[in-house]
Amino acid sequence: SGIGPKTAIHLLSLGSVTEISSAIGRGDLAYLTNVSGIGKKTAERILVELKNKVLSSQISDGGSEFEGALGDVIEGLAALGYSMLEARAAVKNLDVHSKTSEQLLKEALQRIK
């Protein structure tokens, strides 16, 4: 889809998973184009492909076996276009002690590489 782990990590440097999901949900093109490696066309494609996923994940927030930081990581990976299967595999056995959601998301992205 044109967004690899390196670009995704650059995206994470802009803000929290919640902020990024909100920007996608709002259709905030300017927010996404601030990321190194994401131009206008790529940002537009991200918004088209992920807006409904982000909105539906915000609506149906319950029923997950992963809670807290791991749940945030799975939501973040889903917002970046990864399947639930890929997201769950990436967070499996992550050490969550003393780490933020953003740190865990970066580790999960490195596992997906």
Contact between 101 and 76 (Cβ < 8 Å)? yes
Determine the Cα–Cα distance for residues 89 and 41; give it in Å rounded to an integer: 30
Domain coordinates in residue numbering, the chain: 5-112
Determine the Cα–Cα distance for residues 72 and 29; give it in Å rounded to an integer: 23
DSSP 15: S
Residue 99: pLDDT over 80: yes
pTM recorded for the entire structure: 0.51
DSSP 97: T
pLDDT value at residue 55: 62
The per-residue pLDDT for range 34-75, each reduced to its tens digit, is 988 889 998 998 888 887 777 655 544 444 556 678 888 888
Percent of the chain with pLDDT over 70: 87
